[in-house]
Amino acid sequence: MASVKKFITADKTIRASVVLCTDVVKEIVARQQSLPIASIALGRVTAASILLAAQLKQKQRIGLNFKGDGPLNGLFSEATFEGRVRSWCGQPQVQPAENQPKDCVGAVMGSGILTVLQSQDHNKHEPHSGIVEFVSGEISDDIALYLRQSHQIPSVVSLGTRIDADGQVLTSGGILIEVMPGCSEQSLIKLEETALKVSSFSELAAEGKNEYEMAECYLPDKELVSVTHNEMIEFRCPCSKSRVLNAIKLLGPKSLEEMLADGKDIETRCEFCSELWKVSLTELAKIKAELDIEKIH
């Protein structure tokens, strides 16, 4: 299993995080049954949420919600510090228009807003959130703008998912370089100039570069020190039968009465992991009885 590899410059002014998360993106793409352009979008947003979550503290998680007016119909990814991730897109079967490049995510994303939700697990407080308008809808630029606006962190973000002729994911991952307080103006300018010349993430991955070598491409004249981060990345969806039953209960007695009157079992599919949850008439009647008792009390 993969993990985020983290590095910091010896003078502690720039930190870099790199992830090669091909296997988890393959699983997400399979669960979403996406065509290539949506797979590229899912791969990029998944790498972005994993990289941002790796900067948090234990038990915290981050959600990236891209709400665009394009035919992709929205894109979402959620990751925890511990490396659990799930992603979703509104229209996985979308295809680029004839006159558009096959990897132009911005064209199917459209214009819109990115909402970033950062929260503590089981925390009743409102999660911290940041909102930015899309720069391009290509995800990397949008994440960089969010970091600059919400956290005052200048950064370089490069995300890439490579797809073969059959629509299969070959490589997927990303790099996030963040400039810390105390970084000289000169180092920042050098980083920005270098970033413009470095090959795309997918090209670096295709060349077989490892995470350290990728970070080195952006910071060639800096000494890089590894930072321990052992959390393994895995696809994980927290949906469960009890969550489904709870959601039905929240619909209230009137909706439950209608479902019972329909006389059919309920089927609902999780839009993240595509697990099909079935709720029988007996179970519906049991929830209804629970609600009736709660009403009396």
Please report, as ranges, the residues that interact with Zn ion according to CB under 5 A. 237, 239, 270, 272-273, 275
Looking at the Cβ atoms of 199 and 277, the one nearer to Zn ion is 277
Kindly tell me which of 218 and 235 has the beta carbon lying closer to Zn ion: 235
Rounded least distance, CB 271 to Zn ion, Å: 8
What is the rounded distance in angstroms from the CA atom of residue 105 to the CA atom of residue 234?
24
CB atoms within 10 A of CB 54: 24
Query: Which amino acid, residue 208?
Result: G
Q: Give the SS3 label for residue 68.
A: strand
Of the pair 188, 237, the CB lying nearest Zn ion is at 237
CB of 272 to Zn ion, least distance (A): 4
Task: Compare residues 79 and 270 and give the one whose CB is closer to Zn ion.
Answer: 270
- CA proximity to 211, closest of 54, 45, 19, 2: 19
Across 239-250, b (16+ Cβ under 10 Å) vs e yields beeeebbeebbe
**Smaller CB separation from Zn ion, 20 or 50:** 50
Strand, coil or helix: 267: strand
CB 147 within 8 A of CB 179: no
Q: What is the DSSP string of 7-21?
A: EEETTSSEEEEEEE-
| Upper half-sphere CA count for residue 62 (Cβ side, 13 Å) | 24
**Least distance from C-beta 127 to Zn ion, angstroms?**
20
Closest separation between CB of residue 76 and Zn ion, Å? 13
Q: Are 54 and 33 in contact (CB under 8 A)?
A: no
CB 247 → Zn ion: shortest distance, Å? 12
Half-sphere exposure of 261 (CA within 13 A, CB side): 6
As measured in angstroms, the least distance from the Cβ of 48 to Zn ion is 20
Comparison of 239 and 260: residue with beta carbon closer to Zn ion: 239
Using the minimum distance from each CB to Zn ion, give the nearer residue, 81 or 272.
272
CA dihedral 145, 34, 31, 267 (to 10 degrees): 110
| Distance in Å, CB of 178 to Zn ion, minimum | 31
| Rounded distance between C-alpha atoms, residue 61 and residue 138, angstroms | 22
With respect to Zn ion, which residue has the nearer C-beta, 32 or 202? 32
- The CB-of-29 to Zn ion minimum distance in angstroms stands at 15
